[in-house]
Structure 1
Amino acid sequence: MTAPVRVLVVDDQELVRAGLRGILRSRFGFEIVGECENGGAVGAAVATHRPDVVLMDVRMPVMDGVTATEALRRSADSPPVLVLTTFDDDEVLAGALRAGASGFVLKGVPAEDLQRAVRTVADGGAWLDPAVTGRVLTTYRAAPSTARTTPELDRLTAREREVLALIGAGRSNAEIAADLVLGEGTVKTHVNHVFAKLQLRDRAAAVVFAFDSGLVNPRR
């Protein structure tokens, strides 16, 4: 039997947390191992509960979700963060990516989409809500803190480009392996080579690069 995905929920509204408890139930393959009402409590909760993924609101008292994400991601063994927000605020979501979040999903999406997003991020993937991805990436690229010389795609082999394009499309390693008829170990090696050659921090950064380079169409 597959172990449930262990989730730490961070949101200051009890009504929202109650709704997430209903969506991320054990019958669907999840376990909510802890809850926090503000970002300042996240570090201790992660140390105590060791979740597979942190589902993080952005607008909270004491410490907002972007600051909490940045603090959490300073630790090499920290779990991935999926930002959950009701705000159609491109700058906040771009800030979450810069802070190290593995993606974002808007509150109000169908339960199945939220479940898929949590599973994808827990598995080491990235999830960028397609409804706002194009705008958010425009804001992300415009920030001075992200300015750098963009590595050329010709550093990659043809196969590595295929892998990067599939990462940008939101595929997990297992899905990439199935799409390209490769072993998962081989795909992992290709992913590591892509990260090293393009100097990418994580999978979310690879998604951003795939959009920037034109390998993925933001309108898809």
Structure 2
Amino acid sequence: MIRVVVVDDEALVRSGFEMILNAFDGIQVVATAEGAGAADAIRRERPDVVLLDIRMPDVDGLTVLREVQKLPAPPTVAMLTTFDTDEYVLTALRSGATGFLLKDTEPEQLAQLVRTLAAGGVVMSPKASRALLRGHPGAGAPQDADVARVKLLSDRERDVLVLIAEGLSNVDIGARVHLSAGTVKDHVSSILAKLRVAGRVQAALLAERAGLLGDDGGDAARGQGC
């Protein structure tokens, strides 16, 4: 059972997400909360996945994200937004979020994205991820420092990095390149260490900046079903 906490300042959004996700087998919304009570709910319920509104009037999503990241075993966090080019999303991704999704995501897609997050994948809205990446300072031409870091990777690690940027979990990557999930996990750990990044989203962003994904290489860190 995938345990989910939904954090949003609007009661209608919280109840809507709870109703949708609880209708699917293997997913249970164990708590919903506004910003002020979010960190306590997450500590209490120990969810696998948190869907966290990025803009809230009392305690904003970035503040909650920072508190969650301090937990001994933080859950996977995806940011919720109504804006497909929200200027705070990139900050959230750099701060440890594992992706973001729009609040008007279709119900079937929402369930699949939660499963992708729980399986170790990353999710982003495809139409927004390029805009976000191109909109941050230093986007555009490949960055020399990022290119140099990517050159530290083996050919196999570069292949795995591209698949990480496609939002695939370790199991899915293994199926694509004919490796066990354990071997893929070892490759991912090596990639993160060589690139000096904290997580898969940061690795995907670096791959994009380094020009590894190409113009038609798919939206960086896009989630399955987005």
State the TM-score, normalized to the length of structure 2: 0.87
Q: Root-mean-square deviation (CA), in Å?
A: 2.0
Question: 8 Å contact 1:133–1:218 — kept in the other structure?
Answer: no
Bigger RCO (CA 8 Å, 6+ sep): 2
Matched, 1:20 2:17: yes
Q: Which residue of 2 aligns with 1:210?
A: 207
Match of 1:68 among 64, 68, 75: 64
1:110 deviates by 1.5
Q: Identity percentage over the alignment?
A: 40
- Report the AA paired with residue 13 of structure 2: V
Measured after TM superposition, the shift of residue 173 of structure 1 is 0.3
Q: What is the total number of aligned residue pairs between the two structures?
A: 213
Moved more, 107-116 or 155-164: 107-116
Structure 2 unaligned spans of 5+: 219-226
Deviation (angstroms), 1:140: 3.9
| Cα distance change on mapping 1:118 and 1:140 into 2, 3 Å | farther
SS at match of 1:187: helix
Shift of 1:218: 6.5
Point out the more displaced range, 173-182 or 79-88: 79-88
Deviations 1:101-134 (A, max 9, x none): 1100011121222222212222222112111001
Preserved CA contact (<8 Å) 2:150 2:207: no
Equivalents in 1 of 2:2, 2:181: separation in Å? 20
Return the match for 1:37 from 31, 34, 45.
Answer: 34
CA contact 1:94–1:139 (8 Å) conserved in 2? no
Q: Counterpart amino acid of 2:152?
A: R
Matching of residues 131-210 of structure 1 within 5 Å: 131-142=127-138, 149-150=145-146, 151-210=148-207
In the TM superposition, what is the alpha-carbon distance from 1:142 to its structure 2 partner? 4.5
CA contact (8 A) 2:3 2:30 kept: yes
Q: Distance in 2 between matches of 1:61 and 1:180?
A: 45
Please identify, of 163-172 and 83-92, the stretch whose mean Cα deviation from structure 2 is larger. 83-92
8 Å CA contact retained: 1:160, 1:190 = yes
For normalisation by structure 1, the TM-score amounts to 0.89
What's the counterpart of residue 110 of structure 1? 106
Question: Which consecutive residues of structure 1, in runs of 5 or more, have no partner in the other structure?
Answer: none
Partner residue of 2:91 out of 75, 95, 99: 95
One-letter amino acid matched to 2:52? M
CA deviations 1:135-174 (Å, max 9, x no partner) are 112334449xxx9942432201110000001000111100
1:105 partner amino acid: L
The 3 A distance-change label for structure 1 pair 200 and 68 is: same
Q: Distance in 2 between matches of 1:126 and 1:76?
A: 21
